[in-house]
Amino acid sequence: MRVFKFGGASVKDPDAVRNVVSVLKEVGYLDTLVVISAMGKTTNAMEKVVESYFYDKGALNASIQEVIDYHEGILSGLFENPNHPIYGNIKLLFDEVKGFLAWNKSPKYGFVYDQVVSYGELLSTTILSAYFNEVGLSNTWLDVRTMIKTDNTYRDAQINWERTQQEVAVRVDMSKLNITQGFLGSDDNNFTTTLGREGSDYTAAILAYCLNAESVTIWKDVPGVLNADPRNFEEAQLLQQISYREAIELAFYGASVIHPKTLQPLQRKEIPLHVKSFVNPKDMGTTVGKGIGIVPKVPCFIVKKHQVLLKLSSLDFSFIVEDNISEIFKLFHDHRLKVDMIQNSAISFSVCLDNKFKGLQPLLEELKKKFKVVCHEDVSLYTIRHFDEEAVKSLQNGKSVLVEQRGKETVQLVVQ
């Protein structure tokens, strides 16, 4: 069995959905499990619903209606018959969202987030499954929450591999075309969990691992894995073959084309990963596998924007040693800030952080009790794999470099 993953851009409107059908007809769709993300920017729109629920109740109905209108527009572009059952099925899903927000008593943002935002994937897969059947691609719709079992770390759930393996084995018919959701799982109480933003790639890898799949293909709006994000860098070049190790390094530093957790389960069973264009599905794309290819011949550029740089120093000029560092990292963990780069000296410690869970302010209050703290918000972290001096100079030009760190293969710059 093969596992395909289609992201939000590949199902953003009726023409995009029709293109997915064309891709499947061109490359084959039997013995295939298709993992689908929420349509277009639906995840962002559902996050707005959650924000309205907690902080601006007056905007709640309008934020929900925005998502309804978007999906109804896609439905009308795919299904000519206004009495098609899909319209009722989609209405039921939105009624579930409204019902949850009406009766929910939990004050926990992460819990509510997962219960609400998850409907993006439930909506997209329900629509695509119905449309596939309409055009002759008979398929089975699967609820991924019955298969991927997790703990209750909402918004960043951890996989229970043993239970997930058991559930996948009994629920997937490997001889058919199956459609399921990315990004989602469920905990021991069957509440919905999510695997972190952009977690649909990881979903595909989890399912491939449990199914001993022959391959995973991620269908993107780019030709494959490039040496730089073309949205941020000019003249990006295709990397046709790279090893698991190189792909993991690129993903770790923030390459957006592959989710950071995706490679580990595939590498353990040596399942190849293909990254291909849904615009030109027969093009070569990129293949990631065991030891294939060599080190890229060109520097690889990665940027993480909207980061936070903290510079900590001791109040009494004492050394920052193991005890201090372990305490600092515990605070990062407690306030859910992800560490992307560190640099330390005898009496100072610099760290670049991702503040996606908005834990910065309470963290600063804790740190200022024991350290002198300098905080730079909204900085960018640039990473260059296989750098040369010309590549480094191209990033330094016209920018204020706050921190630079070099290794044998990698240089990182924090700039403002």
User: What are the distances in angstroms from CA 128 to CA 32, 44, 72, 259?
Assistant: 15, 20, 13, 23
Burial class (CB in 10 A: 0-12, 13-18, 19+), 291: exposed
CA distance 63 to 50: 9
* Residue 231 counted as an annotated binding residue: yes
Say how many C-beta atoms besides its own lie within 10 A of residue 397's C-beta.
7
User: What are the distances in angstroms from CA 1 to CA 32, 67, 217, 271?
Assistant: 6, 34, 12, 11
User: What are the distances in angstroms from CA 107 to CA 16, 50, 293?
Assistant: 38, 12, 50
**Which pairs count as long-range contacts for 70-73, CB under 8 Å and 24+ apart, including other chains?**
70/39, 70/40, 70/42, 70/45, 71/39, 71/42, 71/123, 71/127, 73/13
Token pair of 407, please?
A: 């290794």
Provide the annotated binding site.
231
Provide the annotated binding site for ATP.
231
